[in-house]
Structure 1
């Protein structure tokens, strides 16, 4: 009974299949998000509650607003409402009788592997929550680079070779598979739904050409296509009929300019082309889509600042040499799960050993890691138990992680280096405060970045009037000592590794030349290694001792807790005292501001 178990969904002007209601109840999705409320009544076919449905949609909403289910539920509703037999079809005249497959329900295109896997995970959760043990009522294949092509081809074949229901893919790998698989190209032609998630990101990740090829596959016959003389990259399109006339297209992103939204309306596109105006790259890409609607339904729920209202933005202006110090202070003062963004991989390689030496749990995420390692690092960050006991868990990332990733319970985002574009800043900040929770976005600004920060604020159409991060400066000198030791350990460890490498290289040369190193040389090398190891061990012991010793704010007595300028006995008895910074109470940045 949806009226009792899911009253908010029941009031929605969109009727969903009972299997989906069952999943929503099981997963405790008690009410639709704003973007879902706005789009579902428009996008779901056969809705008797509203006349204007089954529409193409262009949706703009802040990250974490529920865009995945805004396009995912109509797809799953269509699958659940049509039996396998209803969806079986001969793909093409002239294809052998035995080559029969179910119509492809949806093709979902994402800019990154991580986002593709995340979308598949969300849709699979809906399916699995209402499926029997032996049979799922919808099948999903994730097609991305970095994984076995043979395995992905088997996934695409689906149950009994009838084809998978939903394909979630990055454009590069999908087009690569299409070029050698006519059957896959034919199925894409039949797709009932086409989804482009994070549309503007597609350009940044270099998918322009592949996207155009894929859009050409689902284009209807006409507009100069005669169906007999088309060939793209080895796919004989002469043997493939035009795209389905009832295909629905969903375009979702966190950022699409007002001008671009206006120009995407078909009348405006034709008018602008006739006047010879230039299109932006994103605009050119989206214009390649053959929308079945003359005028797609536009929904823009982005805020005026383009940052979610539940994200508190703060800044900290500091010298370049003090950035490490300010980051360390922030991680100690406000424990939790923190996503730290840098602009280049070199920044990760420098910060990771520094934070590890300071005994902070840290995982790297960047494009040079293998896919399996990236997924493993994200899982470690998600499952880290340190935040629950007052520590910090850190994910150090380049902007490969800035788009679309849904990492639950990220408390803070730190822009260790200011991004070059406003869009990147918006998407970085959107990794926190997801699902209606509060979050923090902290920008660490050094003098050389002030102009970039000013331009960024200008592009976001706002003043540079963010609150500054509150800092108890009496702790900084002690934290500086820890950081200096951590850097010293990193340097000594690096020197050790280099010396070991040089020693191994020398031994190899001696062996190849059939020469023996003198015992004196070998003894000298061993003694040097022992001394270096002993030195590093002493530095680590000293740093460990410093980290174990709680720091006291000015005015706190080391001997008598009731004396001094600050009275913190009540907060100590109430367990409100900060664990490692004596004199400060436990607090979120929201509370301190």
Structure 2
């Protein structure tokens, strides 16, 4: 079936054709004809990324009376990002409808500007629940004459605590309106909304209720808790073309994981509730434009992210609410593409994994982590592929080439290739040289230390002999994190991040390990550097302070000693 068979008007069909859409997705194929023929209440259940926006957006535009300036359609979405995305999609679908006015309203931006846009008229409003309630209370928006209310990602809205706001909004709407509810899952609270505000809704289910996208491959890796981060690094290294999301449970965990990855040179940034709206927009813009490969996020911060081509979703920790796994994994395999959802679990989480399998009605593929040899092979051939595909600027290079070729007169072709590959590849060879398998089943392998880690992965927690420990007078309370410190050091010294070792960010101050050979550079170049209005000072520590230093740990006094001190 093609879109032209669904009954849409010429203006909408022309816009769809220009966008390159030919065949509707299953949810679109079922929802659009029904809503065009019989605009009654409707429940559409389909996993994230299956084209739900067009399923309700095209019929909504079909019914808009362009000669009327009052609000006729209302779309409610859980997050600012999804709100903006829906409004943009509706504008693209309706770009040939000359008098169409769509206004999006959401928190985190100037409400006065949104009020001015509403005062000019809006046939369709796309809103987040909190901002819409605010506008209703200010009497700046009228929804008592609307024809249709769309609740998109209804389960996510209720998970985020918008139950009271949804009730407040729907009570302001006319009784004879149509309610179109779209959701990936159907928990009790969503069912309650349907019972309260809908009349004999027509239900469309693509797949089964709560079932995840069939194009997603679900994998799980069992590791000891202390090896979780090192396992994550192996998975990233094994997938050099990754464009993915890493989900953590808390803001603190999200920041820590992202900071560690950035400090070690990975193309990653965090997305969590402690970021300002401007920071969130900056991070999301970089991720959408693929200027960063990995976004480390909390469940709440990532809700509403609608980004195509995400290859992997990695669950650094499984969600507290197992139903959230569906939303997380649904960020990949969008628009009919394939994707991989990876869960890192410890040896005690088998039951939780079984609970998720019941919900998604799919079994996890329990896998072993890639071995060092497998990772190095992947990275080597990725490097070779990059060299092979690199565009050479012959005109710029030709003048240097004769002198360069002289340097290689005594080397064979194979030796030259080996040396060029080693420039980039040695870091992986060195890192994985003494590494063993991190899978939980193999934690008793020879070569493991008492902490369960091995090789370089165990040595990451101590300072190398060729490193110096430096003190920084700024800390967490000043807004400093590991990624920010790395950027400050590299930008102001001209050194690469490989010159930096362990970083410890405390509340009032910080420490970092730096190459001894660049000691004077660190001291000279980082003095009085401005960081968010504060002057940074750096000095060499006297006793290797901080968690990663060589200072001796104070012995904890015994109970007898504590009692003697009290006396």
Bin of the TM-score, shorter chain as denominator length? 0.5 to 0.7
Write out per-residue CA displacement over residues 210-247 of structure 1, whole angstroms, 9 at most, x where no aligned residue. Answer: 21121111143xxxxxxxxxxxxxxxxxxxxxxxx3x3
Correspondence 1:249 to 2:211 = no
Give the Cα separation in 1 of the matches to 2:59 and 2:250: 39
The change in CA–CA distance for 1:157 and 1:538 in structure 2 (over 3 A counts) is same
Correspondence 1:424 to 2:324 = yes
Which residue is equivalent to 1:272?
none
Aligned pairs for 1:405-444 within 5 A: 405-444=305-344
In the TM superposition, residue 485 of structure 1 has moved relative to its aligned partner by: 6.8
Which residue is equivalent to 1:83?
66
Which residue is equivalent to 2:382?
none
Correspondence 1:286 to 2:278 = no
Aligned partner (choices 28, 32, 42) of residue 40 of structure 1: 32
Does the CA-based 8 Å contact 2:42-2:201 persist in structure 1? yes
Does the CA-based 8 Å contact 1:171-1:207 persist in structure 2? yes
In the TM superposition, residue 473 of structure 1 has moved relative to its aligned partner by: 4.4
Give the Cα separation in 2 of the matches to 1:445 and 1:412: 16
Give the Cα separation in 1 of the matches to 2:70 and 2:195: 25
Give the Cα separation in 1 of the matches to 2:470 and 2:39: 61
Aligned pairs for 1:76-155 within 5 A: 76-79=61-64, 82-84=65-67, 87=68, 102-128=69-95, 130=96, 136-155=98-117
In the TM superposition, residue 461 of structure 1 has moved relative to its aligned partner by: 5.1
- Which residues of structure 2 form unaligned runs of 5+? 376-431, 436-453, 479-508, 520-567
Give the Cα separation in 2 of the matches to 1:43 and 1:540: 70
In the TM superposition, residue 304 of structure 1 has moved relative to its aligned partner by: 7.0
Give the Cα separation in 2 of the matches to 1:501 and 1:346: 14
Which residue is equivalent to 1:546?
none
Which residue is equivalent to 1:191?
146
Which residue is equivalent to 1:389?
none
In the TM superposition, residue 205 of structure 1 has moved relative to its aligned partner by: 1.4
Give the Cα separation in 2 of the matches to 1:327 and 1:150: 44
Aligned partner (choices 153, 161, 167) of residue 212 of structure 1: 167
Query: How many residue pairs get matched?
Result: 411
Give the Cα separation in 2 of the matches to 1:540 and 1:138: 65
Write out per-residue CA displacement over residues 300-351 of structure 1, whole angstroms, 9 at most, x where no aligned residue. Answer: 1134771111101111101112111111111111122010000001111211
Give the Cα separation in 1 of the matches to 2:470 and 2:60: 53
Which residue is equivalent to 1:174?
132
Give the Cα separation in 2 of the matches to 1:76 and 1:113: 21
Correspondence 1:496 to 2:454 = no
TM-score, structure 1 normalization? 0.64
Which secondary structure does the structure 2 equivalent of 1:298 belong to? strand
Aligned pairs for 1:307-456 within 5 A: 307-335=212-240, 336-385=242-291, 393-456=293-356
The change in CA–CA distance for 1:489 and 1:429 in structure 2 (over 3 A counts) is farther
The change in CA–CA distance for 1:533 and 1:108 in structure 2 (over 3 A counts) is closer
Does the CA-based 8 Å contact 2:315-2:342 persist in structure 1? yes
The change in CA–CA distance for 1:18 and 1:405 in structure 2 (over 3 A counts) is same
Does the CA-based 8 Å contact 1:17-1:77 persist in structure 2? yes
Give the Cα separation in 2 of the matches to 1:114 and 1:492: 44
Does the CA-based 8 Å contact 1:75-1:105 persist in structure 2? no
Aligned partner (choices 138, 155, 171) of residue 200 of structure 1: 155
Does the CA-based 8 Å contact 2:470-2:514 persist in structure 1? no
Q: Which moved more, 1:300-309 or 1:313-322?
A: 300-309
TM-score, structure 2 normalization? 0.67
More helix as a share of residues = 1
In the TM superposition, residue 533 of structure 1 has moved relative to its aligned partner by: 11
In the TM superposition, residue 202 of structure 1 has moved relative to its aligned partner by: 2.1
The change in CA–CA distance for 1:110 and 1:486 in structure 2 (over 3 A counts) is farther
Which residue is equivalent to 2:504?
none
Give the Cα separation in 2 of the matches to 1:56 and 1:533: 58
Which secondary structure does the structure 1 equivalent of 2:2 belong to? helix
In the TM superposition, residue 448 of structure 1 has moved relative to its aligned partner by: 3.7
Give the Cα separation in 2 of the matches to 1:117 and 1:539: 49
Which secondary structure does the structure 1 equivalent of 2:268 belong to? strand
Give the Cα separation in 2 of the matches to 1:534 and 1:283: 52
Backbone CA RMSD of aligned residues: 3.1
Correspondence 1:471 to 2:370 = yes
- Which residues of structure 1 form unaligned runs of 5+? 1-6, 48-52, 88-101, 221-244, 258-279, 387-392, 503-531, 543-593
Write out per-residue CA displacement over residues 493-550 of structure 1, whole angstroms, 9 at most, x where no aligned residue. Answer: 8953458999xxxxxxxxxxxxxxxxxxxxxxxxxxxxx99973318999xxxxxxxx
Write out per-residue CA displacement over residues 435-461 of structure 1, whole angstroms, 9 at most, x where no aligned residue. Answer: 111100000011243333233334445
Give the Cα separation in 2 of the matches to 1:104 and 1:467: 51
Give the Cα separation in 2 of the matches to 1:397 and 1:534: 26
Which residue is equivalent to 1:24?
16
Does the CA-based 8 Å contact 1:303-1:309 persist in structure 2? no
